A and B are shown apart, each in its own frame.
Chain A
Amino acid sequence: MEGQGVSGGKLMIRITRKVEFSAAHFYHNPNLSAEENRRIFGKSNNPRGHGHNYVLEVTVAGEPDPETGMVLDLKELKEILQREVVERMDHKHLNYEVPELAGKIPTCENIAAVIWGLLEPKIKQGKLDRVRLYESADLFADCTADSSDGLGFAGGRA
């Protein structure tokens, strides 16, 4: 924990909230031939689409408020995640039904970056530190604040 936890003499805490959503997608780049698409994207190119249970971990860093003992109100974070992410993406087809992903291939990297863009302006207490999006237990993308060491959620470490 060297160099962590203390910033300018103040206690910095990270809190993480997890939320899940299920969605369909497929990978296709319209600028490439059908054959090129199949070669690059393999079975993810199937035009009928396929789906995942996505797991999203959102980490906010900040100092606990001395009055409430909280970095931010987790109930409020839960509502933000529900409104900005779950309502937009849960049980949707990411290629067709999420305007923020229009024109982008809905890979884990691109979805995580869109989620970062949606959440960052909404976090008013503390600072968005990391967005980790699992497409499966074996594949995830991280977006981290430039100021972060990227460690985020301690529960992710065995």
Chain B
Amino acid sequence: MKISMARRYRFAASHRLHNPKWSAEANRQLYGKCNSPHGHGHNYVVEATFTGHVEPGTGMIANLAELDPFVEREVLEAFDHKYLNEEVEEFQNVVPTTENLAREVFRRLATFPGARLERVRIEETSKNSFEYSGKE
């Protein structure tokens, strides 16, 4: 039997799907309304799953008293109420699709000490979710 622990966090941000290598027309065709020039936004939900052993002294895989401030600092402060395309350095040259966002959130959370990040799942809306587990 394996055991894991998952915690969900929320942030609200805007983005625009646009690849400057292509023409305006090609962008409109590929990204549709997500290419709308001034951006649009979502309430994102980040579900982070950690594995490891359950520390007998705390009964926990990851102590929430440490994990919550870590996620706040590494992810929520950087993304919440921001325009991802312009205010997050990693998306200056990368299209901020939720696939790429999941990869970036994984990269940031993988440095959490004491537990192994197994998976990041991001809900962009209640209908769309994206998962990344660090494997290319």
Contacts and interface: CB of A to CB of B under 8 A. Distances in A.
A42 B60 CA distance: 14
A116 B8 contact: no
Nearest to A104: B59
Contacts of A146: 1-2
Interface in A24-83: 27, 29, 31-32, 39-42
B59 A158 contact: no
A73 to B, nearest CB: 24
Given A42-B65, A158-B129, A105 B3 contact: no
A107 B59 contact: yes
B58 interface: yes
A40 B64 contact: no
Interface of A: 27, 29, 31-32, 39-42, 104-110, 112-113, 116, 120, 137-146, 150, 157-158
Interface of B: 1-9, 49, 54, 57-61, 63-65, 123, 125-129
21 contacts: A27-B58, A29-B57, A42-B65, A104-B59, A106-B59, A107-B59, A109-B5, A109-B60, A110-B54, A113-B1, A139-B8, A142-B4, A142-B5, A142-B49, A144-B1, A144-B2, A144-B3, A146-B1, A150-B2, A157-B129, A158-B126
Given A29-B57, A158-B126, 13 more contacts: A31-B57, A32-B57, A39-B65, A40-B65, A42-B65, A104-B59, A109-B61, A137-B8, A138-B8, A141-B3, A141-B61, A150-B2, A158-B128
